[in-house]
Amino acid sequence: MRQRTIADRDIYRRLLGFVRPYWRQFAGAIAAMVALAGTEWMLPALLKPLIDKDFDITQGTNAYATGGLLILLFAARGVLNYLDMIALQWVAQKTIADLRMAMFKTLVRLPANFFDGRASGELISKFTFDVTQVAQAATRVIEVLIKDSAIITVLFGYLFYLNWKLTLVLMLFAAPIGIIVRRASQRMRQMSRRLQESVGAINQVTEEAVRGHREVKVFEGYDYETGRFDRAINDARRFHMKVVGSSATIVPLIQLCVAVGISLMVVLAVQAASDGIMTRGDFIAFVTATALVLPPTKRLAGVNEFLQRGLAAADSIFALADAEPEVDEGREDRPVTGAIRFEHVTLRYGERTALEDICLDITAGETVALVGRSGGGKTSLVNLVPRFYPLTSGRLLVDGVPVENYRLAALRRHIAYVGQHIVLFNGTLYDNIAYGALRDVDRADVERVVAQAQVKAFADSLPQGLDTLIGENGVKLSGGQRQRVAIARALLKDAPILILDEATAALDNEAERLVQEALNTVRRGRTSLIVAHRLSTIEQADSIVVLDHGRIVERGTHRELLAAGGAYARLYSAGFEELPTV
């Protein structure tokens, strides 16, 4: 329990660190809260003289003054309440934006294996659900802890002023209240974490159903997806109710403790009044101030729910923000010609071996086609060149320098890549071609590669041409059109190393022929690694490497391998163009 409390304090301290840049606005909000709390005692104090004077008509002037003071009091309280709410919400929203940015900056620099082991819905929920929980911790919790604590402190001060002996009676109930809160906090934190996980599952199922809506329809996956969603939402409902249940248990228990204390105080106050120790005004002011203690006490009791949710969410957010980015300890930053050498390279994904003892020399400017059956390791091999995955053992050199010695940005600057799963962004066609570091290139260069990659053939028919919005992942384009956009992006980069992982798989024969002509032009003087099963690409390669179960089993030209009658010849005779790829 002690360690958990220390961890909670550290998490909240770090969360408040995000507030530090906005300390002036935060201090203004706190000042407004404290000032608002400082007026809480004035209502019973203003009532006291009226009761003591028995509402005497001769004291009408004082009554009018009291009425005026009440109006001024509530007007001032309204202004202070407005100021603290606006300032605190402004700070909270800035803090949430900074937390999101901290996570996103880390997210885009995480290694590929981080994403392989996590569902996208889980990550997305950190940016949506988790930050809303932190918002509660950053606003509601702070407001209640500061303002209501100040209100209780001020009221207790006034109660001490009226009758310190009676006030001590109420304070005796602070210990049992603390024990109740402490014991409930651990369960609420645990259930809050489970709630976050279940919300991530909801996001994941929803995202997959939206992305795969065609497959759901064709394969009649309605009941299956509905069942998955039903389980996810019921898990979320169950954990949410457990959190609420814990909170709902705390509040009445604390209220009961406070009510017992107040009842005892009222009895003692009545006795004191009857004995002449307290005036009637003192009695009414004391009871009124005591009653005013109950609402902030109730809010303080209920705030633990939001605090535990916020701490669990902040813990989740910081886990992502603190995730280790790709290892980038290299110092080399120089032009490369594109010579690539694999020396006894092995790659494993967990317990599975994807590549084993790969030895391969590729000279600068050479075009190498990688072929083989599905699962042979072709994509795994090309993914090593831009360092998407670290080697398990062996060495991979570019221009004689181990890839680990290059700065990641420097290495990838010399690589153009078209993956088998085309990724486009929700922007214009032009923005998807001149993407990232390419955004500042001349428009004439973009139009040149648009023509080379046969994008112009369909771009001219779009409403705004290259400036047409293409939707999420290019949903407004066909598969072949999306592939041509990705090829144009790679052509625009004009890098010495070109990786094409099934870059023409979705093209029809005519479009593929035209794009192939462009690729043949751009490949000249560049090192090209091509994962393909179409013979039009393979036949023109300088060298063909056949992989099977993560090992190189053959290497040679198209003619040499056919003449050898080995694995390549068997693939060829079996209808190579129809084989699936990885």
Q: What is the pLDDT of residues 478-529, one digit of tens each?
A: 877 888 888 888 888 889 999 988 776 666 676 677 667 667 766 777 899 9
Give the tens place of pLDDT for each residue, 425-434. Answer: 888 899 889 8
pLDDT bracket for residue 164 (50, 70, 90): confident
At 58 the pLDDT is 47
User: What is the C-alpha to C-alpha distance for residues 531 and 364, in angstroms, rounded to an integer?
Assistant: 18
Q: Which fold has domain 9-321?
A: ABC transporter transmembrane region fold (1.20.1560)
Give the tens place of pLDDT for each residue, 125-135. Answer: 888 878 888 87
Asked if pLDDT for residue 174 goes beyond 70, the answer is no
- For residue 457, count other CB atoms closer than 10 A to its CB: 15
DSSP structure string for 126-185: IIIIIHHHHHHIIIIIHHIIIIIHHHHHHHHHHHHHHHHHHHHHHHTTHHHHHHHHHHHH
Asked if pLDDT for residue 350 goes beyond 60, the answer is yes
Highest mean pLDDT among 57-61, 183-187, 340-344, 520-524: 340-344
Q: What is the CATH number of domain 340-578?
A: 3.40.50.300
Average pLDDT estimate for 21-48: 79
- 58-62, 152-156, 223-227, 401-405: least confident range: 58-62
- 315-333 in b/e form (b: 16+ CB < 10 A) is bbbbebbeeeeeeeebebe
Q: Is the dihedral of CA 462, 427, 532, 548 positive or negative?
A: negative
23 token code pair = 């300390």
User: What is the C-alpha to C-alpha distance for residues 541 and 544, in angstroms, rounded to an integer?
Assistant: 7
Asked if pLDDT for residue 458 goes beyond 70, the answer is yes
> Nearest Cα to 570, choosing from 367, 356, 370, 373?
373
- 22-26, 79-83, 531-535: least confident range: 531-535
At 53 the pLDDT is 61
- What are the residue boundaries of the structural domains of the chain, listed by start? 9-321, 340-578
Average pLDDT estimate for 375-380: 88
pLDDT bracket for residue 345 (50, 70, 90): very high
Average pLDDT estimate for 386-399: 93
